[in-house]
Structure 1
Amino acid sequence: MSWSDAYVLFGAKPNRTPCSAQALRKRVLKDGTLPTINPVVDLYNAVSLKYAIPVGGENHDAYVGRPFLTIADGTETFDTLMNGEAVDDPPLLGEVIWRDDIGVICRRWNWRQGTRTRLEAATARIWFILEALETMPDEALAEATDALVGGLNALMPGCRIVSQAIAIT
């Protein structure tokens, strides 16, 4: 199954709201460059492009409770920016979302990240997720993880990294 197929299954239109890896690829092909945000985000965007998988980085300390992947009931809040203005753009009923105890962290699985948990230059504790469907070999996912860990060690010598594989069926 492709990410586009997965998105169709929960009612999203992948040409309009593609997974983050596809959106990043389209952006790079259109503009010819990888957008620069900060070194950590730039690193995980590069890993996302190289391995064609969604990679996200989150400010661990901005979470309330634990993050979890679930189906939206349509009443959740999602803080984001539109045209430079802070807005609540709630998910649709049945949409796949990442959330914590107080709201949505990422809409349409990995399409758009919220503002509350985004990484800033001074973020100290970071949670990353590399998302792969069953069609991606475990070895390729491990290689992508190793690339991210190696890059983080180069950017932040002495940082402590814990890696764990989680299978959702």
Structure 2
Amino acid sequence: MHFQHASDLWQDFPQLAPGVICTRGITADASVDRPVAAFGAAAAERLSGTQESGLPEVRAWRRAFGAMGLKPTQYRCASESLLRRFRKEGSLPRIHPLIDLCNAASIAYGIPVGVFDLTLISGDLEVRYADGDEVYETFGGAEEHPDPREVIFADEARRAHARRWTNRQSGYSAVRAGTSDVLIVIEALHESAPADVAKLTDALSAELRAIWQAEPVSAILSRSAPTFAC
């Protein structure tokens, strides 16, 4: 499959810096205690001097949500929501080793990280503006349609695998106990995003190798090289 952001999205958000990882052989029996603790400590240190809303990574996504007509305090990017919960509770719930790892990395860097089960994506996956007739499945199993011009992750079957860009993924392609092959998408908009996304992509790739003995393939995308093959 191929992953990319639509050209008009690049035009509207030229500061976008995406990192992408494709990996196979994930299992649900791995231990991620070490990296989760290390990433959590990094997040706690960053939050010791400011709340999540003060981080440049989060501020950039708030500006983007505002530009899309969304109230930033009503619809938060995934990393802000995780940081907010981590600040209040001191930890994040454990869901699946890979999700736990990616959530912990997300709060350490303040950058949204999406994880998709590749076997549940039909054809190519594109981040684009919605037409409004695509189908989105919630984690509770209910079906919704995105608003026209809402940014979604859409496959060739016109299924939306995420709504409001980095706000919420779909339950349809969420990682489960039997998931093996995944696509990890990292997106940032702040000033130092290209360097920070590269560091986060490298850090997650290293952990995938260490924990699952995986052979991840990764790339940093750009407006001139927007497509990734998995």
**TM-score clears 0.5:** yes
CA distance in 1, matches of 2:145, 2:81: 20
Residue pairs, 1:139-158, within 5 angstroms: 139-157=195-213
Gaps of 5+ in 1: none
CA distance in 2, matches of 1:128, 1:57: 5
Residue 86 of structure 1: aligned partner? 141
CA distance in 1, matches of 2:126, 2:192: 22
Given that 1:63 and 1:117 are in contact with CA atoms closer than 8 Å, whether structure 2 keeps it comes out as yes
Given that 1:28 and 1:34 are in contact with CA atoms closer than 8 Å, whether structure 2 keeps it comes out as yes
CA distance in 2, matches of 1:45, 1:168: 27
Residue 61 of structure 1: aligned partner? 119
Given that 1:11 and 1:95 are in contact with CA atoms closer than 8 Å, whether structure 2 keeps it comes out as no
Q: In the alignment, which of 103, 123, 128 is matched to residue 184 of structure 2? A: 128
CA distance in 2, matches of 1:138, 1:71: 23
CA distance in 2, matches of 1:90, 1:14: 21
Given that 2:115 and 2:182 are in contact with CA atoms closer than 8 Å, whether structure 1 keeps it comes out as yes
- Quickly say closer, same or farther: Cα 1:20–1:168, change in 2 above 3 A: farther
Residue 46 of structure 1: aligned partner? 104
CA distance in 1, matches of 2:144, 2:86: 26
Query: Residue type matched to 1:30 in 2?
Result: K
- Quickly say closer, same or farther: Cα 1:89–1:19, change in 2 above 3 A: same
CA distance in 1, matches of 2:223, 2:71: 23
| RMSD of aligned residue pairs (Cα, Å) | 1.5
Report deviation, 1:94.
1.5
CA distance in 2, matches of 1:137, 1:8: 19
Q: Secondary structure at the match of 1:16?
A: coil
Report deviation, 1:164.
1.2
Residue 21 of structure 1: aligned partner? 79
Report deviation, 1:30.
2.0
Greater CA drift, 37-46 or 89-98: 89-98
Gaps of 5+ in 2: 1-58, 225-230
Query: Residue type matched to 1:95 in 2?
Result: E
Greater CA drift, 42-51 or 87-96: 87-96
CA distance in 2, matches of 1:160, 1:150: 10
User: Sequence identity, in percent?
Assistant: 33
Matched, 1:36 2:91: no
Report deviation, 1:166.
1.3
CA distance in 2, matches of 1:133, 1:96: 15
Larger radius of gyration: 2
C-alpha distance after superposition, 1:37-94 (max 9, x if no partner) = 111000111110011100011101111011101111221110113xxx4211221122
CA distance in 2, matches of 1:124, 1:66: 18
Query: Residue type matched to 1:140 in 2?
Result: D
Given that 1:73 and 1:92 are in contact with CA atoms closer than 8 Å, whether structure 2 keeps it comes out as yes
Bigger RCO of structures 1 and 2 (CA < 8 A, at least 6 apart): 2
- In the alignment of these two chains, the number of paired residues is 165
- Give the TM-score of the pair, scaled to structure 1: 0.91
C-alpha distance after superposition, 1:69-122 (max 9, x if no partner) = 1111221110113xxx42112211221111101210000001111112111122
Matched, 1:75 2:133: yes
Matched, 1:161 2:204: no
